[in-house]
Structure 1
Amino acid sequence: MTREALLDAAESVLFEHGSQALTLAAVADRAGVSKGGLLYHFPTKDALVAAMVARTIEEFDALIDSYDDGSPGSYTRAHVEVTFEILGGEARTHRRWSAISAAAADPGQAEPMNEAMRRWHGRDPGEDPDPCAAQVVRLAVEGLWEVVSHVPDLYDEAQLAELRTHLLAMLEQPAPDRA
């Protein structure tokens, strides 16, 4: 049994039954391995949750990198594109990532996600035509993700497409003259 397959099993348990049901025994059962087989890779539940959080962060970073071409404003556009790819993709993907964040509610467990958020949202938007609009757009997609995680059917495909188009258009506008 590979480490990735064990993480997949843990994510399934977490997504389907919530953080209270995430036990080493439940994960081993879902993966079809002995508890000892699971413990070989993840000696504690905390180690398992930490690995799920790390994988989530790595997946998001890889998606951002796939869209960010290094041109002015491309990082924020990538953030929007990735968010909508995830929200419009497999129905459970964004909820899976949200469940993992919830499972890491312990302050020690939450720190890697907090650091990733600082990196994702703290990145200098100075390369964007309107740096303030870039920050607003990043916060808007984060808020949208949170809302859709709780109410998945709130927006249909057409509404999500319209929101995406509008947010990307906001990024193309030059900063207003503040003089």
Structure 2
Amino acid sequence: EERKISGEDMIFVEECSGAKSVTLFVRGSTKHIVDEIVRAIEDAIGVVAATVEDDKVVAGGGAPEIAMAKKLKDYAESISGREQLAVNAFAEALEIVPKTLAENAGLDSIDSLVDLRAAQEDSYYMGLDVFTGEVADMKEAGVIEPKRVKKQAIQSASEAAEMILRIDDVIASTKGPEDMGMDPSAMGGMPPMM
């Protein structure tokens, strides 16, 4: 069938049995909006493709982050020193995901985290249902995420944090004694030339 859309003639072939491809017709008020819709569709298709290829998913609703944070905190108790602080900080960083999810849903983030932690004692599938504001079994609710996407997000966030720390170390090491509030003449040797 030929149809005119926005002044353009277009051919539509519809209701074909056994079709191997489809076309998504995207419209928007501006080119920017259309580009954003196309990007969102491509991301969604990519996530579905990753799920089908890997055939591995994890529960949504912040369930994996709470489970990983709990395991990390348990592990942190078995070590000491700076390593323990780093492991605890990583666990707290993971909890930002469900905390942000709760905040974006208009829920009290502290109460939601407490409820999630308590519910995870029974099942790792317990996550935050943003529609009811309650903790629910994400597997039963059908709220899942591809394992590959979750793994990549955690790895990328870790690498970004590590890069920031390295940059901070480089900046800190390039500061002179004057920048750190020290008197260079008290450190011995010749004072810097002005």
TM-score range, shorter-chain basis?
under 0.3
Of structures 1 and 2, the larger Rg is shown by: 2
Question: TM-score if structure 2 supplies the norm length?
Answer: 0.23
Higher strand share: 2
Greater relative contact order (CA < 8 Å, ≥ 6 in sequence): 1
Specify which structure has the higher proportion of helix.
Answer: 1
Structure 1 length as normaliser, TM-score?
Answer: 0.25
